[in-house]
């Protein structure tokens, strides 16, 4: 198995506050990697560094390298916009575009990037809604507002929207934390299926979720990568005492 993403000595700041300290890790292709850790440990910042969203925050700073297929996404001639088309993102709170229909939400990435061919759009919209396990629920009401769906459906719509631009990597920032357990379970199933075609990196504060959906797990604490390995090892046989304490619920 080859490495899709290599993070090399990545550090990140908000103003003068350092939130990530010298993170180095390699992420494999077509697997689900979970990032766990207590609130404020830098999980979200870490994945926001992977699609160059972190730098959009005023006074935010990043150093280090992130290689996508061996090429540094922070390289001098790299346009962050192209990086974001290859590395899609799903946010914590479902955020479909409220002024757009379900169809337009799924097609948003393509339309906003200038694809107008109706036939092709129809195809991709159906494909991505199917891939997000939403098609059967919405196929008869594609013209309705994206905001009219339930929370879980909205989140799957956001996944479909991310899939429609055919990314290689999908970042998920606590994608189920705003959802009820049934809706969360559907998303978890979906994540497993997505891993067949995509490299998935998921941030979660829910350890059971990490254990259920991921192949590899990274434990972050106070901006440092404490331990990283196969999910099985992390949960059954952690090397670090800190990791053990966290997964057994001694702190969090």
Least distance in Å: CB of 227 to other proteins?
Answer: 28
CB of 99 to other proteins, least distance (A): 5
- For residues 114 and 249, which CB has a smaller minimum distance to other proteins in the complex? 114
Least gap, CB of 4 to other proteins (angstroms): 18
Q: What spatial distance separates the first Cα and last Cα of the chain, rounded to whole Å? A: 33
Residue 71 or residue 236: which is nearer to other proteins going by CB? Answer: 71
Residue from 26, 31, 20 nearest 67 by CA? 26
* Least Å from the CB of residue 211 to other proteins: 27
Q: Which is nearer to other proteins, 42 or 146 (CB)?
A: 146
Identify which of 60, 49, 1 has the alpha carbon closest to the alpha carbon of residue 24: 49
Q: What is the largest CA-CA distance in the chain?
A: 56
Closest to other proteins by CB, 32 or 50: 50
In the bound state with other proteins, the residue whose beta carbon lies nearer, of 59 and 118, is 59
Q: Summarize as ranges the residues that interact with other proteins (CB under 8 A).
A: 51, 53, 56, 58, 81-85, 88-89, 91, 93, 95-99, 101, 108-109, 112-113, 144-145, 147-148, 158, 161-162, 165
- Minimum Å gap between C-beta 145 and other proteins is 3
Query: How far is residue 214's CA from residue 94's CA, in Å, rounded to a whole number?
Result: 21
């Amino acid at each position: 198995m080859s490495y899709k993403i290599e993070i090399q000595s990545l550090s990140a700041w908000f103003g003068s506050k350092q939130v990530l300290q010298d993170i180095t890790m390699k992420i494999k292709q077509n697997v689900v990697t979970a990032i766990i850790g207590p609130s404020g440990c830098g999980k979200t910042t870490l994945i926001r560094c992977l699609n160059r969203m972190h730098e959009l925050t005023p006074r935010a700073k990043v150093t280090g390298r992130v290689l996508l297929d061996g090429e540094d996404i922070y390289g001098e001639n790299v346009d962050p916009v192209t990086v974001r088309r290859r590395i899609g993102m799903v946010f914590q709170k479902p955020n479909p575009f409220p002024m757009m229909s379900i169809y337009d939400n799924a097609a948003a990435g393509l339309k906003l990037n200038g694809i107008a061919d109706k036939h092709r759009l129809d195809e991709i919209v159906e494909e991505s809604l199917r891939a997000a396990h939403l098609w059967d629920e919405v196929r008869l009401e594609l013209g309705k507002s994206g905001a009219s769906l339930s929370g879980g459906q909205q989140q799957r719509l956001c996944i479909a929207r991310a899939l429609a631009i055919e990314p290689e990597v999908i970042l998920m920032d606590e994608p189920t934390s705003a959802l009820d357990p049934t809706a969360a379970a559907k998303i978890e199933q979906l994540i497993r299926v997505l891993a067949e075609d995509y490299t998935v990196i998921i941030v979660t504060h829910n350890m059971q979720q990490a254990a259920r959906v991921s192949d590899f797990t990274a434990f972050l604490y106070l901006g440092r990568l404490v331990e990283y390995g196969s999910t099985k090892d992390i949960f059954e046989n952690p090397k670090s005492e800190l990791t053990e304490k966290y997964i057994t619920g001694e702190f969090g």
